[in-house]
């Protein structure tokens, strides 16, 4: 895995299943919304946090190739989801570790099915 810089840039990672749940609720009218809302996890994880979580969940030693910092990488990009919680009654349900575990299981299943 390539990390540009020290691995301290924070991002807001969240599970696409949470977004899909919100989109379905909006489409079928369970939630009525007017305005602009930030949808995310509401918490930041650095690249180093992501690598640590993947190592922990999968039990793998993920190799990291550190490259020089790129000038366009933001040091912090985490969304404030408080308005979505208040006005939409929405918040994410999946934890990052669950997403990694579920994705890994999906990939393993696909590989086993492809091999047979």
Q: What string of pLDDT tens digits covers the 116 residues of the chain?
A: 999 999 999 999 999 999 999 999 999 988 888 899 999 999 999 999 999 999 999 999 999 999 999 999 999 999 999 999 999 999 999 999 999 999 999 998 988 888 87
Q: For the chain, what are the domain ranges? A: 2-115
User: In 48-62, which positions are buried (b, 16+ CB within 10 angstroms) versus exposed (e)?
Assistant: ebbbebbeebeeeee
Cα gap 13→41, rounded to integer Å: 6
Span between the terminal Cα atoms of the chain, in Å = 29
Cα gap 54→19, rounded to integer Å: 22
| Architecture of the domain whose range is 2-115 | Alpha-Beta Complex (3.90)
């Amino acid at each position: 895995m390539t990390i540009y810089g020290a691995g301290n840039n924070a991002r807001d990672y969240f599970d696409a299943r949470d977004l899909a749940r919100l989109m379905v609720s909006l489409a079928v009218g369970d939630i009525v919304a007017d305005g602009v809302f930030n949808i995310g996890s509401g918490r930041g994880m650095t690249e180093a946090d992501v690598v640590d979580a993947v190592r922990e969940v999968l039990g793998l030693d993920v190799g990291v190739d550190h490259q020089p910092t790129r000038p366009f990488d933001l040091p912090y990009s985490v969304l404030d989801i408080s308005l979505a919680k208040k006005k939409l009654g929405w918040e994410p349900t999946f934890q990052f570790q669950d997403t990694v575990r579920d994705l890994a299981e999906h990939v393993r299943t696909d590989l086993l099915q492809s091999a047979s």
